[in-house]
């Protein structure tokens, strides 16, 4: 996800979320933290929520602690998604 083309970075982040591979969490965290393009950051945050699992939850919590106002709402939504993925019975109630 280091391609100079923001559209390719965006699509790569989205694909990671769709695939749901937790091996992508570290790369997605870097993108969510550091990418200069807000749409790419948002795609990475959303992907972390879709992937779920403990590593994604921890990463999203760290991102939320450092988030600006623009990203905080999206991170909170991604946390809800990740929590639902981690505990589907709780999400159903």
Tokens of 8: 């390719």
- Alpha-carbon Rg for the chain, nearest whole angstrom, is 12
Using N-to-C axis directions, what is the helix angle for 38-51 and 53-66, rounded to 10°? Answer: 140
Q: What Cα–Cα distance (Å) separates residue 39 from each residue in 6, 9, 84, 85, 91?
A: 8, 10, 24, 23, 27
Domains of the chain in sequence order = 6-92 (1.25.10.10)
Q: How does pLDDT run across 16-37, given as a tens digit for each residue?
A: 999 998 999 999 999 999 999 9
> Of 62, 93, 61, whose CA–CA distance to 79 is shortest?
61
Low-confidence ranges of the chain (pLDDT < 50): none
Mean pLDDT (the chain, rounded): 91
């Amino acid at each position: 996800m280091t391609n100079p083309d923001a559209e390719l970075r965006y699509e790569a982040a989205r694909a990671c979320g769709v695939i749901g591979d937790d091996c992508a969490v570290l790369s997605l965290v870097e993108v969510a933290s550091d990418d200069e393009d807000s749409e790419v950051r948002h795609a990475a945050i959303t992907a972390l929520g879709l992937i779920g699992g403990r590593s994604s939850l921890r990463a999203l919590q760290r991102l939320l602690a450092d988030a600006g106002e623009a990203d905080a709402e999206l991170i909170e939504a991604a946390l809800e998604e990740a929590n639902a993925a981690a505990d589907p019975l709780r999400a159903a109630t």
